[in-house]
Structure 1
Amino acid sequence: MLHDMRTNPLSPVFVGRGPERAALAEGLAAADAGGPQAVLIGGEAGVGKTRLVDQFLDEARALGALTAVGACVEAGADGLPFAPVSMVLRALHRQLGEELTRAATGFGGELARLLPELGEPTAPMGTARDVEVRARLFELTARLLESLAQERLLVLAIEDLHWSDRSTRELLAYLFRSLQRGRLLIITTYRSDDIHRRHPLRPFLGELDRLRTVRRLELDRFTRDEVRSQLAGIRGSQPSDDLLDHVYRRSDGNAFFVEELASVSCGARPGMISDSVRDLLLVRVEALPETAQRVVRIAAEGGSCVEYGLLRAVVGLGEDELIEALRSAVGASILIPQDDGSYGFRHALVREAVDDDLLPGERSRISRRFAEVLEAAPELVASEQRPARLATYWYHAHDPAKALPAVVSAATDARCRHAYAEQLHLLERGLELWDSAPDEVRSGLRVAYEAESYPLCACDDPALSFLDMLAEMTLAARFAGEPERGLSVVKRALRVLDTMEGVGHPLRAAWFWTERSRLTRWLGRGSGWDELGTAQRLLEGFPPSGVHARVLTEAAAWGAVHQPDEDSLALAERAVELCREVGDEKAEVDALLSRGALLVEIGRGEEGLADMRAVAERVKRFDLVAAFTRSHVNLQSVLESMGRSDESLAVANEGIRLAHRYGLRDTQSWIHGNRADALFSLGRWDESEAAAVDARRTAQHPVTVSLAAERLVRLALARGDLETAETELALMSEHGSVAPQYAHPQAHYRITLAALRGRILDARQLLAEAIREGLAPGTGVYTWPMVDAGAQAESAARGVPAAEPGASEAIAAIREFAATLPRRYPVWAAWAQLVEAELRRADGTARAADWAAVAEAFDGLSRPFQRARVELRWAEALVAEGDRERAAELLARAHAAARPMGARLLVEEAERLAQRARLPLTPEQARAEGPGGDASFGLTPRERDVLALVAAGRSNRQIAEELFISPKTASVHVSNILAKLEVSGRGEAAALAHRLGIVGAERDATPAA
């Protein structure tokens, strides 16, 4: 109604900000070229962030861009999730109409959670819910924006990020990372002076600083000359020096304060301005008529923006009187009409000052009035804001009887919108209100949605309702990525259950113990088995239920990771049967996946793969999104474990497509990580590194961050980049799970790194500790490489004096442990033979035939790196046994295979062996050296003469006399020869010279002059 009114005194001249405008223009140009960009603008309150954005949006529109603006509201802290994103989408919908609806075809019902104009929200796909659906919501939002930005330049602005809810921050972070194409620029603003050390925006900003497509701008206060220009624009004439000094000193260059001071300085009485900033901000308000002041005070308590209808109902004025009051407030530049018909404060500082000026009783009375009006006429507020706004109003009205149900209802709405951090915040507020609420209110509360098999209360016991709330808090904390808070809530619930003497609620206790197991594992504080055991004991004697299905399924999943044996398989079998009995499809597919993995582990691979492939097909056919988070990940993992890397890679590629379709970012990290495994095994190391980087880019939890580092450690060690390996190993070690799939790779890489650093005693201790842990042997893909690392360390240390003490005991311990490991699949059997061959090399008993057998075991397994390593060892043994022709063939083949992979250490070892044994590595070398090979071994002609005499048993003095040189020169020659031949003494040099033909009889008889 008052939308066309201008607010004064805003300067008609835009002042300064040259570097910032240039940076925004650069971002706009980069976005227009097809690469999505983001700009974060920070600055203290009142410094001019909004004016800069408004100016830039005008310029962008002049260039043909479509713009939309949203703003975070202070109610976001009380659980109003995604508010600015919804505002942006609603603004786009107003401008594009059916075009936006068409762009959302196929998933409009899911995006309706953010934009109700798209229709009723659809139910989750298949059995999907919670985190999976939330991730899909993020992905679909990104797709919608990418689609709209294909044909036009799109500029979106989100203001006041310092008030943003966590869900909004996480959605924005997802967009900044995942948007890959489209002419799109996103601008955000935030108050830098509000970002204290523990403010939740601080880590968000730090994370975004690492993104290439995100730039940050910090607005400074105006200089004195800029204040002069601003005053001239506001007043229409140049200010006097006295006025400029006065305003600049009092405002300190803050643009908003300059405006306020300019307005009161126009004819103001001396002493009108208080030294208090709040008093300064209230000057305009106090100059309004009394009715307008009352409207402004009520609007301040209503939120950042208040709908006209709601404000009218709360104020209680006639329409004409209200419009007149609003006209005064708008004319004084206190309120601004919004596009949606609501009214907001021109600057948040004014609203804060007005709100702070309210008396405590006055504030709670106004909040109560807002709550009562909204309850009576809910249509006055947008449906997606209504629950959170009502909860906020009742909470600030200090009425627990009304606030507690409103808060619980808002928490329910937040969960339905997949805003778990806000749900958790609201439920915590509910706990705060719990003891103050009347008994009849508490006993009347009911959880309106299922809490993952949690048994809802069936009586009016208030304590049970309290447990229901704690159950929802547990899940909200888990889904929000706050396991510490979740574990704290679980412990509180178990304490409550312990105090309920004579009542007993074993099903609820079993549910909480199962959650405690999961959170304990997630935090890396134990295996979680004791907690699962407690849960199972609590269920004894009770008829089958959803809780039984959940507990047994969790136990089966635990067994697949920690103890893959017949007992765990039997548990998984029972879990499958029980899930079918109680009709829990989600738990059933989880149990089937665990059963499949366990069948693979005990050697019934085809049966296990059949289970897992069947689940994967069900996932694709029926969009079982929740099951997908395990189906393809586990299937590709067991295929890799069985040595079927090509099949694993095919499943991974399909999984990536589905993960993108479902919008599951962290699941993408698991799949990319497994892709890295398969590509590493296949010798495609550059691709493996790219997959590992993708795994890190999409990781959202400590486990997936650690696993991404694991893949990069492996590559760094194989390439000989020890510094990178140490850095990544530190990141990998932050997740301290004792499961073999985590613990054994960590031990493997620590052992390898210690051995490469020459610390054989450390390597022995690390392997001994891993063996002493008493862990289940685990799977071949995790445990055999760890044992092989220990065997390689002993093999490499052979002959090193410091390594000799304890070597035989270490070798025996490795053999003993290896004998306990399964060899059920060809790749596991090949690892077993490789370990034994390395141990024989370590104790000096290895023969060429041993390595030939290992090579045969790796035939057809698509393991080029291991095959190259085996051929190098085989060639080494053949050289020692005198078969130089076959050794040369194998050595050249190993070298040729290792180089394109980037296996630097293996390449260098092959080159050293070739040098020592005078063997060519390439056909060119073979042609250059001729049939007899190069007998120089890097020796000069004079050194060959000296070596001939060393081989003949001459002393240095005798060599000097025979070659007419000094004894000192002869000694120098001998030292050089020993170094080039890499031998430790004259006898060994003589033996090597005779064995390899470096010297001949004619050279012994007739030394060169």
Structure 2
Amino acid sequence: MSGGEPLIGREPELALTDRLLKSVAGKPEPWDPSQARALLVVGDAGVGKTTLAHAILDHALRLGLAGGVGHCLDLATGTAFAPVTEALRQVVASRSHLPGLDATAAQWLSPDAIAEGNVLERLLGATAELAREQAIVVVIEDLHWSDRSTRDYVVALVRTSRAPMLLVVTTRSDDLTAEHPGRSAISELSLSAGTTRLALEPLTEAGVAELGRRRLGRPLSAAELDTIMARSRGNPLYAEEIMTAPGERVPSSLRDLLLRHVVGLSAPAAALVRLASVGGAVLDLDLLRDASGLDTTRFEALTREALAANVFTRHGDQFAFRHALLREAVEDGLLPSERVALHRAFVDILRERTEVGSAAVRWRANAALAVHAAAADDQGTALLAHINAGRAAQRSGASEAGDHFESALALWPDVPDASQLAGISEAEVAALAAESLLTFFQAERVEGLLRRAVDRLDSVDNPLAASRVLTVVAHGRHHGGGLLDPWTAVERSIALASDQPSVELSRALKAKALLHVRGHEFSRALIAANEAVEIAQRVESLSAEYDARFLAGTVLSCLGRLSAGNLAFRSSIALAQRAQATGSALVIQGELAWGLICSGHIEEGCALARQGESAAYREGLLRAATFNGEQELAVLIWQGRLAEARQRLDGLVRAGYDENRSRWFEADLLLAEGELEAALAIEELTIQADLRAPQSDPDDTVRRVELFEQLGDVAREVDTAHRQLLSPEPESPTSAAVQARCAFQALSAAAHTTYTVPEDLPQSAADALAVARRFLTDDWAQSWYGAQHAAAEAYAAQLEGRPAIDSWTHAVELAAHYGAFFALRPQLELSLEELRHGKRDAGKEHLVAVWRSAQSMGARWFSQRAATEARRHRVSLPAGPGHGPSPLDRLTPRERDVLELLAQGATNRAIARTLFISERTAALHVSSILAKLDVTNRGEAAAVARRTTDA
């Protein structure tokens, strides 16, 4: 509003209304004979319709328009046309000091005139008369509460008036039930050619955060913001009331507003709504019907009543409460005994559903049973349901498995004879919880759970149960005092299970294989993994077999036997599918996709990853979905399709991509775009958190070496390469090839400086290259690892003073198969090697090609480096006819898209909507554009864009 803070998160809406107001204020001569302009603002209660309407009116007054606002106070009450006369009288009052105003309009608005009859015609005439000399804005608030006369005026005005004016009408979408008397008028208004319909959406997370900063005078914590967003769903009124009344489940100021629709329901429908309120905001209609005890016909009739009253809402096949706070308000009104009884009704039905269906179905049923049982004071049932939910979640690949096991542990002290009831010891549950969290970067939680498991191990009488616990302990890394050493744990586990073949023995042997992998003893790892497979086959355990085969595939790949590794992955997937372990099968499918991509079968790998991603989304397995999606993301970056890669990454993040994994690819993408400082900031987080072991994740080391080289930080480049060689790979030629490439690249960078490298680094690099050479086979020579080996050979040749043109040519040929960006580094090195050794024509051609390729994909560092080398070697780069380099050449393709929208006046939110990216990403792009164009604000950037376009 005028003189106040700007509206939060309403930039697109304000831009729209600004255009409408300026169109009205322009008063073209003669006045456009089209219908009067109307803006219909629709939204739920509390979403900010009134705030926006007043902001529109204030802006209209600043533009020199007259205006007024009328309020519909309640349905079918009050004087006829009261909101209309209220608004128009304000217009008259604001114009009373102006000379020459026709008094007719004022006379028509007098109470006596209103009582005389022909009121609608008189009001339409008064509106036209008031707009004749000066355009006006009339705001009618809360049309859903209007009487017939006001609705008639609104419809007639938009149908017949030619006056220069803007009619702004607000109405609640959640009050427009099927039987609402104003529904037809609002529908007719919406369909009018002169009406612009504006559906006011809730605020984004950023908008709620800003609202919190303004109302509380401090930033909201991440936990506060998550809670407020979950409960308010971005509704500004709800959010503000929640943040200013933190002790209340539903702020008293909102309760009547939320429950207004429930009050009008019949008693049976209200009872059904109360039952539904303890079942969650999203409704399972089959479960709700069974819990209600109603027959299908009666249940459907009551559900339709709740839908018609806007208590329930439907989106496709999904039914839910109109708002999460509405459900809370209904639940808060329950008596304690009533709440327990309603939860018990769900418990009785859910018990029957927990043993049927797929793992995903059983997980969700047990998870729901645990919640309802706990609320019904049935702690034993809740504990057992949490354990069963955890097991089912593990089989389906859901990340919530650990949460369920931990919830069971929390209930353990309160349940008599918990071990007997659950059929499992406390130590085993703690181990299961730890095992579920091993791949989720939850080191502190895992260690605490493993300590609990070991502390209670003495109470485990069954040797196989103890073996299961120790196998999980063996999977842990670098534990402090009080925990068994992983090797001690695995040897004890094997000993406890060695009397006869068993699932426990297979899993213990698989854990032993994993420890060999960590020690870079791949031959021994393969022997142990194959033993685990053999035992699993003897006891006919599909789950143990697919687990062991998957590890065997990983080991085979490390040994350079990529085809055999991929074959093992395929076998593992088939076994997991037979075991109905959908989540595990889809995760392994992502691993197979990556194995195929690295083997050079890029299209097949990407197609498999896309199929796995789609299947995982259908199952609701976000971790498996985003893991499959990241395989194609890597390829997009390699291929230099950076704008597509940015969209792909943004999509994965919106889908719930793991924050740690998203960092790696964010750093990859920023590095490819040449955003070195931003990439460094992300990379520092991964380094500081020690999220990944460098020796087992060669792509991390490749990225870090390249990043530090582009930053000119030779010391950190050398240190990164040196650290990975502290764990040599005498048996893995693929890992050795990557180590050699990184080490020789770092040595090559240091050779052009005065930096002193560690004494052992050159020999360690040579040793790694020797391993890669010794075990080089056709199976991996053309792979991603083969491309790394070729680059290592070329760097080594340069350092030894040998001609490296042929070596770099081979490296380019291998790299080009994986993508245009992936090939830029060897292409650049080849061109420079040719220029240094008298192959000027070839070097010039290749350097220009590097510059063109980098320019086209938006790889800024390579573009700038190629331009620098072109000046140094007096190589002319092409330019457009009659033009030198454009300032826009510094921008990536995505940044040019953003600049185009920015030049049109788009806000970050509008940019995000148009390009399907997050607001945060839009803001980062805008900041980068300002820096690259060397301007201080958006207006200057837009001016640069226009000058360049005009030129």
TM-score calculated relative to the size of structure 2: 0.54
- Tell me how far apart the structure 1 counterparts of residues 730 and 856 of structure 2 sit (CA, whole Å): 37
1:447 corresponds to: 422
1:431 corresponds to: 412
C-alpha displacement at 1:589, in angstroms?
Answer: 1.6
C-alpha displacement at 1:101, in angstroms?
Answer: 12
Instruction: Calculate the aligned-residue CA RMSD, in Å.
Output: 5.3
Residue 302, structure 1, aligned to residue 337, structure 2: yes
2:77 corresponds to: none
When residues 26 and 442 of structure 1 are mapped into structure 2, their CA distance, relative to the original with a 3 A threshold, is closer
User: What is the letter of the counterpart of residue 897 of structure 1?
Assistant: S
- Tell me how far apart the structure 2 counterparts of residues 858 and 562 of structure 1 sit (CA, whole Å): 30
1:549 corresponds to: 506
1:606 corresponds to: 563
C-alpha displacement at 1:189, in angstroms?
Answer: 11
User: What is the letter of the counterpart of residue 677 of structure 2?
Assistant: E
Q: 2:852 aligns with which of 896, 901, 917?
A: 896
C-alpha displacement at 1:766, in angstroms?
Answer: 2.7
Q: Which has the higher contact order (CA 8 A, sep 6+)?
A: 1
Aligned residues of 1:586 and 1:626 also touching (Cα < 8 A): no
Q: 2:647 aligns with which of 690, 697, 700?
A: 690
Residue 593, structure 1, aligned to residue 585, structure 2: no
Q: 1:491 aligns with which of 451, 458, 464?
A: 451
Alignment gaps of 5+ in structure 2: 1-44, 53-169, 175-196, 205-232, 304-310, 347-364, 394-399, 885-951
Aligned residues of 2:553 and 2:565 also touching (Cα < 8 A): yes
User: What is the letter of the counterpart of residue 818 of structure 2?
Assistant: S
Aligned residues of 2:490 and 2:508 also touching (Cα < 8 A): no
When residues 585 and 814 of structure 1 are mapped into structure 2, their CA distance, relative to the original with a 3 A threshold, is same
C-alpha displacement at 1:656, in angstroms?
Answer: 1.0
C-alpha displacement at 1:817, in angstroms?
Answer: 2.9
Q: 1:871 aligns with which of 810, 827, 834?
A: 827
Q: 2:253 aligns with which of 18, 36, 48?
A: 48
Q: 2:680 aligns with which of 726, 732, 737?
A: 726
- Tell me how far apart the structure 1 counterparts of residues 749 and 298 of structure 2 sit (CA, whole Å): 65
2:659 corresponds to: 705
- Tell me how far apart the structure 1 counterparts of residues 484 and 653 of structure 2 sit (CA, whole Å): 25
- Tell me how far apart the structure 2 counterparts of residues 519 and 643 of structure 1 sit (CA, whole Å): 34
Aligned residues of 2:635 and 2:819 also touching (Cα < 8 A): no
C-alpha displacement at 1:473, in angstroms?
Answer: 6.0
2:531 corresponds to: 574
2:818 corresponds to: 862
When residues 835 and 156 of structure 1 are mapped into structure 2, their CA distance, relative to the original with a 3 A threshold, is same
Residue 911, structure 1, aligned to residue 892, structure 2: no
C-alpha displacement at 1:632, in angstroms?
Answer: 0.7
Q: 2:621 aligns with which of 653, 664, 677?
A: 664
When residues 662 and 783 of structure 1 are mapped into structure 2, their CA distance, relative to the original with a 3 A threshold, is farther
When residues 305 and 811 of structure 1 are mapped into structure 2, their CA distance, relative to the original with a 3 A threshold, is same
1:791 corresponds to: 744
When residues 699 and 732 of structure 1 are mapped into structure 2, their CA distance, relative to the original with a 3 A threshold, is farther
When residues 466 and 644 of structure 1 are mapped into structure 2, their CA distance, relative to the original with a 3 A threshold, is closer
- Tell me how far apart the structure 2 counterparts of residues 608 and 532 of structure 1 sit (CA, whole Å): 28
Residue 819, structure 1, aligned to residue 770, structure 2: yes
Residue 149, structure 1, aligned to residue 315, structure 2: yes
Aligned residues of 1:788 and 1:831 also touching (Cα < 8 A): yes
When residues 885 and 27 of structure 1 are mapped into structure 2, their CA distance, relative to the original with a 3 A threshold, is farther
1:752 corresponds to: 706
User: What is the letter of the counterpart of residue 754 of structure 1?
Assistant: F
User: What is the letter of the counterpart of residue 908 of structure 1?
Assistant: Q
- Tell me how far apart the structure 2 counterparts of residues 766 and 305 of structure 1 sit (CA, whole Å): 59
- Tell me how far apart the structure 2 counterparts of residues 586 and 101 of structure 1 sit (CA, whole Å): 42
C-alpha displacement at 1:31, in angstroms?
Answer: 7.5
Q: 1:631 aligns with which of 571, 581, 588?
A: 588
- Tell me how far apart the structure 1 counterparts of residues 560 and 317 of structure 2 sit (CA, whole Å): 55
- Tell me how far apart the structure 2 counterparts of residues 531 and 514 of structure 1 sit (CA, whole Å): 10
C-alpha displacement at 1:846, in angstroms?
Answer: 4.0
- Tell me how far apart the structure 1 counterparts of residues 297 and 488 of structure 2 sit (CA, whole Å): 53
Aligned residues of 1:569 and 1:598 also touching (Cα < 8 A): yes
- Tell me how far apart the structure 1 counterparts of residues 519 and 652 of structure 2 sit (CA, whole Å): 24
C-alpha displacement at 1:538, in angstroms?
Answer: 3.1
1:108 corresponds to: none
Aligned residues of 1:507 and 1:538 also touching (Cα < 8 A): no
Aligned residues of 2:428 and 2:453 also touching (Cα < 8 A): no
1:880 corresponds to: 836
Aligned residues of 2:473 and 2:484 also touching (Cα < 8 A): no
Aligned residues of 2:725 and 2:739 also touching (Cα < 8 A): no
Aligned residues of 1:671 and 1:695 also touching (Cα < 8 A): no
Aligned residues of 2:750 and 2:757 also touching (Cα < 8 A): no
- Tell me how far apart the structure 2 counterparts of residues 858 and 485 of structure 1 sit (CA, whole Å): 41
C-alpha displacement at 1:585, in angstroms?
Answer: 0.8
- Tell me how far apart the structure 1 counterparts of residues 810 and 576 of structure 2 sit (CA, whole Å): 43
What is the DSSP-based 3-state SS (H/G/I as helix, E as strand, rest coil) of the residue aligned with 2:875?
coil
Please, which moves more after superposition, 841-850 or 471-480? 471-480
1:335 corresponds to: none
Alignment gaps of 5+ in structure 1: 1-15, 74-79, 103-114, 116-144, 164-187, 192-295, 311-339, 341-381, 395-402, 449-455, 457-464, 929-1009
When residues 152 and 605 of structure 1 are mapped into structure 2, their CA distance, relative to the original with a 3 A threshold, is closer
C-alpha displacement at 1:664, in angstroms?
Answer: 0.8
C-alpha displacement at 1:67, in angstroms?
Answer: 15
Aligned residues of 1:648 and 1:678 also touching (Cα < 8 A): no
Q: Within 5 A, what are the aligned runs for 1:983-998?
A: none
C-alpha displacement at 1:755, in angstroms?
Answer: 3.0
When residues 599 and 413 of structure 1 are mapped into structure 2, their CA distance, relative to the original with a 3 A threshold, is closer
User: What is the letter of the counterpart of residue 490 of structure 1?
Assistant: L
When residues 27 and 565 of structure 1 are mapped into structure 2, their CA distance, relative to the original with a 3 A threshold, is farther
C-alpha displacement at 1:55, in angstroms?
Answer: 4.5
User: What is the letter of the counterpart of residue 252 of structure 2?
Assistant: V
TM-score calculated relative to the size of structure 1: 0.52
C-alpha displacement at 1:568, in angstroms?
Answer: 1.4
Identity %: 17
User: What is the letter of the counterpart of residue 149 of structure 1?
Assistant: H
When residues 648 and 590 of structure 1 are mapped into structure 2, their CA distance, relative to the original with a 3 A threshold, is same
What is the DSSP-based 3-state SS (H/G/I as helix, E as strand, rest coil) of the residue aligned with 1:603?
coil
2:608 corresponds to: 651
User: What is the letter of the counterpart of residue 412 of structure 2?
Assistant: L
User: What is the letter of the counterpart of residue 302 of structure 1?
Assistant: S
What is the DSSP-based 3-state SS (H/G/I as helix, E as strand, rest coil) of the residue aligned with 1:159?
helix
Please, which moves more after superposition, 665-674 or 299-308? 299-308
User: What is the letter of the counterpart of residue 456 of structure 2?
Assistant: V
Aligned residues of 1:722 and 1:753 also touching (Cα < 8 A): yes
C-alpha displacement at 1:834, in angstroms?
Answer: 1.3
User: What is the letter of the counterpart of residue 851 of structure 2?
Assistant: H
What is the DSSP-based 3-state SS (H/G/I as helix, E as strand, rest coil) of the residue aligned with 1:693?
helix
C-alpha displacement at 1:92, in angstroms?
Answer: 9.6
User: What is the letter of the counterpart of residue 446 of structure 1?
Assistant: L
Deviation digits for residues 224-276 of structure 1, max 9, x if unmatched?
xxxxxxxxxxxxxxxxxxxxxxxxxxxxxxxxxxxxxxxxxxxxxxxxxxxxx
- Tell me how far apart the structure 2 counterparts of residues 739 and 18 of structure 1 sit (CA, whole Å): 48
Deviation digits for residues 846-892 of structure 1, max 9, x if unmatched?
44344334335546x33433433333322223223333222222222
2:185 corresponds to: none
Q: 2:324 aligns with which of 139, 158, 161?
A: 158
2:931 corresponds to: none
When residues 472 and 896 of structure 1 are mapped into structure 2, their CA distance, relative to the original with a 3 A threshold, is closer
- Tell me how far apart the structure 1 counterparts of residues 880 and 641 of structure 2 sit (CA, whole Å): 26
What is the DSSP-based 3-state SS (H/G/I as helix, E as strand, rest coil) of the residue aligned with 1:772?
coil
Aligned residues of 1:597 and 1:634 also touching (Cα < 8 A): no
C-alpha displacement at 1:905, in angstroms?
Answer: 1.7
